[in-house]
């Protein structure tokens, strides 16, 4: 499987996915720390990929996403944005709404 196929599979299989440097418990950069805190603040489970442990994904995802930096938040297969966008959405309440919608949708799907 190619790196792009792996990325597509990760995005398709996780309704809420954060590509970041480090992990939510141990972020390895300030931007990833702020972004993961904002997503965790929404109170829903989410998947993450530590790009520092996945150099191929770190190299290929910016080209695939047409977004040059990390972190990257993907919800329901759509790129939401990076740290500034995530934090801005968290501040105005949009992020919690989006995350809760995505999480509720995935619960409904898995219940069927």
- 107: pLDDT confidence band, cut at 50, 70 and 90? low
**Binding site annotation covers 58?**
yes
Q: Looking at residue 85, which CATH number applies to its domain?
A: 3.40.30.10
Which residues form the domain of 15? 3-105
Residues with Cβ within 8 Å of residue 111, at least 6 apart in sequence: none
SS3 78: strand
Domain contains 35: yes
User: Which residue, among 76, 80, 86, has the nearest Cα to 24 in the 3D structure?
Assistant: 86
The per-residue pLDDT for range 52-92, each reduced to its tens digit, is 999 999 999 999 999 999 999 999 999 999 999 999 999 99
Residue 109 has pLDDT above 50, yes or no: no
CB 45 within 8 A of CB 74: no
Rounded distance between C-alpha atoms, residue 39 and residue 46, angstroms? 8
Total structural domains within the chain: 1
Domain contains 110: no
Looking at residue 72, what is its pLDDT?
Answer: 98
User: What does pTM read for this prediction?
Assistant: 0.92
Domain contains 99: yes
Rounded distance between C-alpha atoms, residue 46 and residue 42, angstroms? 10
**Binding site annotation covers 63?**
no
Domain contains 100: yes
């Amino acid at each position: 499987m190619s790196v792009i196929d792996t990325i597509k599979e990760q995005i398709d299989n996780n309704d809420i996915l954060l590509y970041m440097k480090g992990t939510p418990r141990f972020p390895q950069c300030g931007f990833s720390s702020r972004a993961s805190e904002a997503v965790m603040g929404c109170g829903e489970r989410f998947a993450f990929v530590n790009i520092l442990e996945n150099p191929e994904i770190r190299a290929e995802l910016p080209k695939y996403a047409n977004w040059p930096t990390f972190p990257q938040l993907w919800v329901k297969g759509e790129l939401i944005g990076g740290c500034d966008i995530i934090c801005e959405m968290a501040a105005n309440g949009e992020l919690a709404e989006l995350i809760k919608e995505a999480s509720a949708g995935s619960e409904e799907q898995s219940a069927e």
